[in-house]
Amino acid sequence: MSGSPLVGERAAHPAYGVLRQVTPTAAVLLADNPSPMTLDGTNTWVLRAPDTEACVVVDPGPLDEAHLARVAACGPVAAVLLTHGHPDHAEGARRFGELVGAPVRALDPALRLGSEGLAGGDVVAEAGLAIRVLATPGHTADSLCFLIDHDGPPSVLTGDTVLGRGSTVVAHPDGQLADYLESLRVLADLAPGTAVLPGHGPELADAGEAARGYLAHREQRLAQVRAAVASLGGAPTPRQVVELVYADVDRVLWPAAEWSVRAQLEYLREQS
């Protein structure tokens, strides 16, 4: 789940149903689930080393049989990895794992199919790749990123931690702003030229640059929230803050913005 508006009219996106090679080791299938919260839809990533038959699938997406069948056709599938448990990324994971006979690995035990989980510091050795797991909580408590460094420029699959367009919701209370800021610092320290392969939106050229931009945006929002709290008398409701700080944002996104404001208010209380 992201936090940015869908751009353009609701129409068949040219990428729906088409496997697009993005890097030598990563291809993407766009799920047909566009919305204000998912942009053009969820990016399902198919990972494999060149000349390797088996693949790793990241975020099978919603429970959409047509989409899952298209992803399954990219197999054989050695493993399914989840960046986090929001339904637009994970709802179809169990069905997909059963369809292709592969384990589903996630930080949250409730999302797994099979006994093996995932945690920061793990390395998933499948499909000719060594996929390094980064713990990146903040958007949600269970958010993970996956770093690939294989015979060329590295790339990182970021789920909803960094999007290809717009900014991300901190899904309070599960998501915590302090955690999110630290996760952005982790991404900001990745090697220059590490490509971002996001859960929504287009790929980005440099994870460090993107993460630093997100950090600057969060600092700007925190300053706006501080000013709003002061102008509203010191104890406003999150909705009152949203109406001031997010006045230029489409109102359909205000409920999601309220999650982030709750996270910001809690963060400011903890810092005071």
What pLDDT is recorded for position 16?
A: 83
pLDDT value of position 249: 87
The predicted pLDDT at position 56 comes to: 98
pLDDT of 61 reads: 98
Q: 166 in the Ramachandran plot: left (φ > 0), alpha (ψ -120 to 50) or beta?
A: left
Identify the pLDDT of residue 151. Answer: 87
- Distance between CA atoms of 35 and 169, rounded to whole angstroms? 14
pLDDT at site 139: 97
Amino acid 50: pLDDT: 95
239, part of any domain? no
> Helices marked H in the chain — which ranges?
65-72, 87-90, 93-100, 177-188, 207-231, 238-245, 254-271
> Is 250 part of a structural domain of the chain?
no
Vertex 177, ends 83 and 39: CA angle to 5°? 50
Parts of the chain with a pLDDT under 50: 1-11
Does the residue 86 lie in any domain? yes
Q: Which domain holds residue 77?
A: 20-208
Inside any domain, residue 39: yes
What is the chain's Cα-based Rg? 18
Residue 184's pLDDT is 98
The answer to the question of residue 29 being in a domain is yes
What is the pLDDT, as a whole number, of residue 272?
A: 79
Number of structural domains (the chain) is: 1
pTM of the model: 0.93
CB-based burial label for 49 (10 Å; 0-12, 13-18, 19+): middle
CATH code of the domain containing 181: 3.60.15.10
Q: DSSP state, 248?
A: T
The predicted-structure confidence for 183-214, as pLDDT tens digits, reads as follows 999 999 999 999 999 999 999 999 999 999 99
Distance CA 73, CA 121 (A): 30
